[in-house]
Amino acid sequence: MSSLEEQIAEVEEEIRTTSYNKATQLHIGRLKAKLAVLRLERETRARGKGGGVGYGVRKSGHATVGLVGYPSVGKSTLLNRLTAAESETAAYDFTTVSIIPGMLRWGGASIQILDMPGLVPGAARGRGRGREVLSVVRSVDLVLFLIDPEHADLRALIRELEGAGVRINGRPPRIVLQHGDRGGLTVSSTVRLTHLAGGLALPIAREFGLHNGSIVFREDATADQLIDALAGNRVYVPALLAVNKAELLGTEERSRLARELRPFEPVFVSAKENLGLEALVDRIGHALRFIRIYVKPPGRPVDREEPVILRQGDTIAGLLRRLPGDLERTFRAAQIWGRSARFPGQTVGRDHPLADEDVVTVVIARGAARAVS
Ligand SMILES: Nc1nc2c(ncn2[C@@H]2O[C@H](COP(=O)(O)OP(=O)(O)OP(=O)(O)O)[C@@H](O)[C@H]2O)c(=O)[nH]1
Ligand SMILES: [Mg+2]
């Protein structure tokens, strides 16, 4: 074990064994910050070694889903059922040793599913193919956790992702940080702070080397949230949960598992017996929040046959990237009809967020060749 690993293990151990109360609050906050800084250092070193770079898979389709679970829960069997992929499956652990992509159609959208090596505790330290899996997880649009009745410890899986800076089903904390050169550190808030009242934020910020500047809380954040804001490299990924090998479960066992797994609402499936897969695909499709955009070329009717598939939150800029021609350069404005329009035919710019079934006409700069045809 390198000394960095030892330091990480020591701090983890101290956090685990210190009981949390008013008197230890400050100490624990500082320890958590220290741990986060050490983990960042580990990431930086790992990147320096170039580990896992060749592991990258080309993303394709309209969205990418990563299959995450312990070894042998049936990830590859599921991928093979859902797509035309042929990922090796076997009754022993670590059958899959690289990232295997498959493609799934849902409505008009194509969804890329990535089968991955099984995740084991200690993945963030580089156990198994952990580091590579975690780096892929950071880039997917949705995580599909797969567990089975014998490997049902979802919490430990989530902790593993959290240790690598992945936040499941969360959103970034509403904290605004500003670095300065001098004058010390000021903390202010637009709401009443209960978790970090009484200057608790300062020692945490110092662990990250933030000594000058300001922290503005726009929500009653916890120490963990402040640490996330300070670390700055967190990714926020939505996730679904499926329980495989469900043909082995009776009704009672299912309800017990479902209770334990709250707030997740697991989909029970059997990849082997082909059960529950349609429901699972529907959940995946909905979770990805696709929207359909119809293009109306200037002076011509709307093309209702082939919508452009985007995702909720995407803007005109995202649409331009999907259309043929050099629209990103020649774009002048867009006209829109539909739910995102304040009035029919509203003129909007690149930053305008689109809604499902909007109709869009792209207006290009005069003199530029007509690109939308
Ligand atoms: N009973 C039952 N067994 C299944 C089911 N799905 C997969 N299996 C079996 O579980 C074993 C492991 O399946 P894999 O698909 O290789 O599992 P994996 O999660 O990809 O495993 P790793 O690649 O090693 O991480 C195989 O023997 C499968 O036949 C299922 O729905 N029910
Ligand atoms: Mg596999």
3-state secondary structure the chain: CCHHHHHHHHHHHHHHHCCCCCCCHHHHHHHHHHHHHHHHHHHHHHHHHCCCHHHCCCCCCCEEEEEECCCCCCHHHHHHHHCCCCCCCCCCCCCCCCCEEEEEEECCEEEEEEECCCCCCCHHHCCCCHHHHHHHHCCCCEEEEEEECCECCHHHHHHHHHHCCEEECCCCCCEEEEECCCCCEEEEECCCCCCCCCCCHHHHHHHCCCCCEEEEECCCCCHHHHHHHHHCCCEEECEEEEECCHHHCCHHHHHHHHHHCCCCCCEECECCCCECHHHHHHHHHHHCCEEEEEECCCCCCCCCCCCEEEECCCEHHHHHHHCCCCHHHHEEEEEEECCCCCCCCEEECCCCECCCCCEEEEEECCCCCCCCC
As a whole number, mean pLDDT of residues 136-151 equals: 95
Closest CA relative to residue 314, chosen from 348, 350, 285, 286: 350
Closest CA relative to residue 310, chosen from 357, 361, 258: 357
Distance (angstroms) between ligand 2 centre and the Cα of 88 equals 6
- With a cut of 50, say whether residue 13 has pLDDT above it: yes
- How much is the pLDDT for 254? 96
Is residue 22 over pLDDT 50? yes
Contact present, 84 and 105 (Cβ < 8 Å): no
| Close Cβ partners of 204 (under 8 Å, ≥ 6 residues apart) | 29, 30, 32, 33, 196, 223, 226, 227, 230
Whether 349 has a pLDDT exceeding 90, the answer reads: yes
Rounded Cα gap, residues 311 and 286, in angstroms:
11
pLDDT tens for 25-37 read 889 999 999 999 9
pLDDT at 6 over 60: yes
Taking CA atoms only, the protein residue closest to ligand 1 atom 1 is 245
Ligand 1 atom at shortest distance from the alpha carbon of 93: 24
Mean pLDDT lowest for which of 100-104, 126-130, 132-136? 126-130
Ligand nearest to the CA of 275: 1
Q: Which of 46-60, 159-173, 321-335 has the lowest mean pLDDT?
A: 46-60
Domains in the chain (CATH in brackets) are 3-50+173-231 (no CATH), 58-170+235-287 (3.40.50.300), 290-364 (3.10.20.30)
Ligand showing the shortest atom-to-Cα distance for residue 69: 1
Mean pLDDT, to the nearest integer, of 140-165? 93
Average pLDDT of span 143-170: 93
pLDDT for 126: 67
pLDDT at 280 exceeding the cut of 70: yes
- Res. 278: pLDDT tops 70: yes
pLDDT at 169: 96
| Global confidence as pTM | 0.87
Task: Categorize the per-residue pLDDT at 248 as very low, low, confident or very high, splitting at 50, 70 and 90.
Answer: very high
Bridge partners (DSSP) listed for residue 146: 242
pLDDT band at residue 371 using 50, 70 and 90 as cut-offs: very low
Buried b (16+ CB within 10 A) or exposed e, 204-235: bbebbebeebbbebeeebebbbbbbbbbeebe
- Residue 60: count of CB within 10 angstroms of its CB: 10
Ion ligand 2: residues, Cβ under 5 Å: 75-76, 95-96
Asked if the model's pLDDT at residue 120 lies above 90, the reply is no
Return d(Cα 166, Cα 161) in angstroms, integer.
5
- Of all residues in the chain, what percent carry a pLDDT higher than 70? 94
Instruction: State the closest ligand 1 atom to the C-alpha of 71, by its place in the atom list counted from 1.
Output: 25
Encoding tokens for residue 42?
A: 């580990």
Atom of ligand 1 nearest to the CA of 117: 25
| Lowest model confidence (mean pLDDT) among 102-106, 132-136, 157-161, 268-272 | 132-136
Query: How far is it, in rounded angstroms, from Cα 46 to Cα 60?
Result: 27
Residues with a CB atom less than 6 Å from ligand 1: 69, 71-77, 89-91, 93-96, 117-118, 244-245, 247-248, 270-272
Of 142 and 368, which is predicted with more confidence?
142
Q: How far is the CA of 148 from the centre of ligand 2 (A)?
A: 13
User: How far is the centre of ligand 2, averaged over its atoms, from the C-alpha of 151 (Å)?
Assistant: 15
Mean pLDDT of 1-6: 79
- Mean pLDDT for the chain overall: 90
How many Cβ atoms from other residues are within 10 Å of residue 26's Cβ? 16
In sequence order, the 6+-apart residues with CB closer than 8 A to the CB of 329 are: 368
CB 366 within 8 A of CB 372: no
**373 pLDDT tier (thresholds 50, 70, 90):** very low
Q: What is the pLDDT of residues 183-233, one digit of tens each?
A: 899 999 999 999 998 888 999 999 999 999 999 999 999 999 999 999 998
pLDDT per residue as tens digits for the range 305-329: 889 999 999 999 999 999 988 898 9
Residue 368 confidence (pLDDT): 61
**Mean pLDDT on 82-99:** 89
